[in-house]
Amino acid sequence: MPDLAILPGAGQVPVFASVEDPADRLSWLEPPPAALPAGAVPYRALLRFGAADPVTPFLYIVEQDADPAEEAELNAWYAQEHMPRLAGVPGVVAARRYAALDPAQSPRYLAAYWLERREAFESPAWIEARVTPWTARARTFFRNPRRIMRRLEDTP
């Protein structure tokens, strides 16, 4: 059973739209229903920091594949440094990392940060948390990275 399913579009709530392209919407299903909707991409949770059931107006998502030769170090960086540091930034309610259940899914990894306000992203504390020597090295392991700031849509 997956821990998360993402459904492109707005099939179920909650729905998050890209800040830059409001037509780019997704349903964030955590936990997902027993019967996954058609087109949903299932994930398993790797790391969880912060609130158990976060509800915030902003969701910042980072997706990437990893250089296979450096995947173990990338995973260690996320677990030991990067995600705990970002989870501690004021305005970050929760941080989680997931892996697609299908190993052929690309990008395979997804990190999500629930933000009380958009300004938490790129705040001085955020920048300080992510600017480290290990971060500079770990970013070289990213393949096919995508970063999207999303806003929670008002739903009935």
- How confident is the model over 35-82, as pLDDT tens digits? 999 999 999 999 999 999 999 999 999 999 998 999 999 999 999 999
- CA separation for the pair 125, 115 (Å, rounded): 13
CA 148 to the chain's CA centroid? 9
Average pLDDT (111-128) is: 97
Q: What is the pTM of this model?
A: 0.95
pLDDT confidence of residue 47: 97
pLDDT confidence of residue 123: 97
- How confident is the model over 138-150, as pLDDT tens digits? 999 999 999 999 9
Q: Quick one: what percent of the chain has pLDDT higher than 90?
A: 93
Going from the C-alpha of 96 to that of each of 21, 76, 121, 122, 127, the distances in angstroms are 23, 14, 15, 18, 18
Pairing between β-strand 109-115 and β-strand 41-50 as defined by DSSP bridges: unpaired
